[in-house]
Structure 1
Amino acid sequence: MKKILFCSTALAMIAPVAAQAADQEPTSEIIVTGTRQTGMKAADSAAPIQLIGAQAFQSVGQQDLTQVLAQTLPSLNFQGLGGDTANLTLSAALRGISPNDTLVLINGKRRHTTANLAVLGGSPFSGSATTDLSFVPTNSIGRVEVLQDGAAAQYGSDAIAGVVNIQLKNADHGGTITATGGSNYQNGGKTAAVGSNFGFKLGEKGFINITGEYKFHDYTQHGNYDRRFFYADGSFKPGLSTTVVNGLKSNPYYPNVNRINGDARYTIYNLSFNAGYDVGSDAQVYAFGTYGNRNARSFQNYRNAERVSGTTSTGTTVYPLSQGFLPQENIREEDFSLTAGIKGKAAEWNYDLSATYGKDAVGLYTINSANPTLFSMLQSASATPLTGIQRNFYDGQLSNSEWVANIDVSRDFEIGTEKPLTLAMGGEYRNGNYSISQGEYASYIFGGAQSYPGFAPTDAGSFGRKSYAGYVDVAADPIKGLHVDVAGRFEHYSDFGSVWIGKGNARYDFSEKFAVRGTVSNGFRAPTLAEQYYSSVNVGPGSTFGQLPPNSAAAQLLGFAKLRPEKSVNFSGGVVLHPAPKLQITIDAYQIKIKDRIVPSGDIFGTLGTTTVSAAVVNALTSRGVSLADATSYAGINIFTNGVSTRTRGVEATANYASDFGDMGKVDWSLGVNYNKTEITKIASLPAAVYNAAQGQTKLLTQNAMDALTTATPRMKVIANALWSKGKFQVNLRETIYGTTSQHVSTDGSGNCNSTTGEACQLLKIGTTLITDLNVGYKLTPRVRFDVGANNLFDKQAPTTPTIFKGTTSERPLSGNVYNAALGFTPWGINGGYYYARATFNF
Structure 2
Amino acid sequence: MNPTPTRRASRSPIALASLLVLGTAAQAQALLAAAPAAVSLDSVIVTGTRSLGTKASESVSPISIVSADDLLQTGQRNVIDALARLEPSFVARALGGDYANIVRSATLRGQGPNQTLVLVNGKRRHTTAFIATSGGLTSGAAAVDLDQIPVSAIERIEVLRDGAAAQYGSDAIAGVINIILKSSPTEGSLDLSQGQFHGSDINPHGLGNGRTRTLAVSKGFRLDSRGFLDLSAEVRDKLHTNQTGPELRTTTIDPYASRIIGDAAYNLGALAFNAGKPLGDGLEAYAFGTFSTRSADSYQNQRLPNKPAFAPLVAAGIYTQGFEPREITAEQNRAASAGLRGSFASDGRWDASVTTGGDRIDLGIDNTVNVDLFKDTGKSPYSASIGQFSNRQTTANVDFSKPVDLGLARPLDLAAGAEFRQERYGIKAGDFTSTYKGGTQAFVGLTDYDAGTHDRSVFGAYVDATLRPAQGLQLGAALRSEHYNDFGSATTGKLSARWDADAAWALRGTISSGYRAPNLAEQYFSSTLVTPTFTYVQLQANSAAAKLAGAQALKPEKSDNLSFGLVANPSKDWQFTADAYQIRIKNRIVLKTGISGSPAAQAIAAAGIVAQPGTSAFYANYFANGIDTTSRGLDLAAQTRSDLGTLGFVKWSLAGNFQKLRIDQADPSFSQGVRSALTDSTPKHKLVATADYSLDGFNSTLRVTHYGQTSLWAPDGLTGGAPWHQEVVKPAFILDLEAGYELSNGLRLAIGANNLTNKRPERVPLATALPNGAQLLPAFSPYGINGAFYYASASWRL
Superposition TM-score, scaled by structure 2 size: 0.93
Deviations 1:695-737 (A, max 9, x none): xxxx422112211101111010000000000011000000000
In the TM superposition, 1:167-566 aligns within 5 A as 167-187=180-200, 188-229=209-250, 236=251, 248-249=252-253, 254-307=254-307, 309=310, 317-348=315-346, 349-379=348-378, 389-566=380-557
Q: Aligned AA for 2:627? A: V
Q: Aligned AA for 2:626? A: G
Secondary structure at 1:89 match in 2: coil
- How far apart are the structure 2 equivalents of 1:557 and 1:372? 29
Contact 1:205 1:277 survives alignment (8 Å) = yes
Give 1:347 deviation, angstroms: 2.0
Task: Determine if the alignment matches structure 1 residue 646 to structure 2 residue 629.
Answer: yes
Which residue of structure 1 aligns with residue 153 of structure 2? Answer: 140
Which residue of structure 1 aligns with residue 29 of structure 2? Answer: none
Give 1:50 deviation, angstroms: 0.5
Return closer, same or farther for 1:25/1:456 CA change in 2, 3 Å cut-off: closer
Deviations 1:417-462 (A, max 9, x none): 2311011000000000001000101111111110011101111011
2:46 to 18, 29, 32: 32
Which residue of structure 1 aligns with residue 33 of structure 2? Answer: none
Q: Aligned AA for 1:327? A: P
Deviations 1:633-676 (A, max 9, x none): 32120000112110000011101112211011110011001100
1:89 to 91, 99, 103: 103
Q: Aligned AA for 1:28? A: D
Contact 1:258 1:818 survives alignment (8 Å) = no
Q: Aligned AA for 1:803? A: L
Q: Is 54-63 or 422-431 further displaced after alignment?
A: 54-63
2:6 to 21, 36, 40: 21
Secondary structure at 1:712 match in 2: coil
2:65 to 51, 73, 76: 51
Give 1:306 deviation, angstroms: 4.4
Contact 1:466 1:494 survives alignment (8 Å) = yes
Give 1:202 deviation, angstroms: 1.6
Deviations 1:575-603 (A, max 9, x none): 00112222110000000000001100131
Secondary structure at 1:560 match in 2: coil
Task: Determine if the alignment matches structure 1 residue 766 to structure 2 residue 729.
Answer: yes
Give 1:310 deviation, angstroms: 6.5
Which residue of structure 2 aligns with residue 7 of structure 1? Answer: none
Give 1:763 deviation, angstroms: 2.1
Contact 2:593 2:619 survives alignment (8 Å) = no
Contact 2:3 2:40 survives alignment (8 Å) = no
Return closer, same or farther for 1:722/1:311 CA change in 2, 3 Å cut-off: closer
Q: Which has the larger radius of gyration?
A: 1
- How far apart are the structure 2 equivalents of 1:60 and 1:145? 17
Contact 2:299 2:324 survives alignment (8 Å) = yes
Give the unaligned 5+ runs of structure 2. Answer: 10-37, 201-208
Task: Determine if the alignment matches structure 1 residue 780 to structure 2 residue 771.
Answer: no
Secondary structure at 1:823 match in 2: coil
- How far apart are the structure 2 equivalents of 1:537 and 1:747? 20
- How far apart are the structure 1 equivalents of 2:324 and 2:244? 15
Task: Determine if the alignment matches structure 1 residue 99 to structure 2 residue 68.
Answer: no
- How far apart are the structure 1 equivalents of 2:126 and 2:771? 34
- How far apart are the structure 1 equivalents of 2:235 and 2:634? 38
- How far apart are the structure 1 equivalents of 2:229 and 2:123? 18
Q: Aligned AA for 1:276? A: G
Return closer, same or farther for 1:19/1:734 CA change in 2, 3 Å cut-off: farther
2:756 to 766, 785, 793: 793
Deviations 1:364-397 (A, max 9, x none): 0011111011011112xxxxxx6xx411101111
Give 1:55 deviation, angstroms: 2.7
Return closer, same or farther for 1:629/1:666 CA change in 2, 3 Å cut-off: same
Give the unaligned 5+ runs of structure 1. Answer: 1-11, 230-235, 237-247, 380-385, 606-612, 685-698, 754-758, 805-812
Which residue of structure 1 aligns with residue 666 of structure 2? Answer: 683
- How far apart are the structure 1 equivalents of 2:782 and 2:331? 27
Contact 2:4 2:41 survives alignment (8 Å) = no
- How far apart are the structure 2 equivalents of 1:150 and 1:815? 42
Q: Aligned AA for 2:227? A: G
Q: Aligned AA for 2:733? A: L
1:656 to 639, 654, 658: 639
Which residue of structure 1 aligns with residue 562 of structure 2? Answer: 571
Contact 1:80 1:90 survives alignment (8 Å) = no
- How far apart are the structure 1 equivalents of 2:558 and 2:364? 37
Q: Aligned AA for 1:766? A: V
Return closer, same or farther for 1:617/1:25 CA change in 2, 3 Å cut-off: closer
- How far apart are the structure 2 equivalents of 1:558 and 1:705? 17
Return closer, same or farther for 1:628/1:36 CA change in 2, 3 Å cut-off: same
Give 1:539 deviation, angstroms: 0.9
Return closer, same or farther for 1:311/1:836 CA change in 2, 3 Å cut-off: closer
Secondary structure at 2:650 match in 1: strand
Deviations 1:750-769 (A, max 9, x none): 3433xxxxx3x332222110
Return closer, same or farther for 1:768/1:401 CA change in 2, 3 Å cut-off: same
- How far apart are the structure 1 equivalents of 2:487 and 2:343? 37
Which residue of structure 2 aligns with residue 706 of structure 1? Answer: 675
- How far apart are the structure 2 equivalents of 1:310 and 1:799? 38
Q: Is 814-823 or 668-677 further displaced after alignment?
A: 814-823
Secondary structure at 1:70 match in 2: helix
Secondary structure at 2:436 match in 1: helix
Give 1:781 deviation, angstroms: 2.2
Aligned length: 759
Q: Aligned AA for 1:365? A: G
- How far apart are the structure 2 equivalents of 1:150 and 1:820? 37
- How far apart are the structure 2 equivalents of 1:557 and 1:803? 35
- How far apart are the structure 1 equivalents of 2:718 and 2:574? 52
Q: Is 654-663 or 405-414 further displaced after alignment?
A: 654-663
Contact 1:656 1:669 survives alignment (8 Å) = yes
Contact 2:71 2:83 survives alignment (8 Å) = no
Task: Determine if the alignment matches structure 1 residue 727 to structure 2 residue 705.
Answer: no
Return closer, same or farther for 1:93/1:323 CA change in 2, 3 Å cut-off: same
Contact 1:541 1:630 survives alignment (8 Å) = no
Q: Aligned AA for 2:43? A: E
Contact 1:543 1:631 survives alignment (8 Å) = no
- How far apart are the structure 2 equivalents of 1:766 and 1:338? 41
Which residue of structure 2 aligns with residue 151 of structure 1? Answer: 164
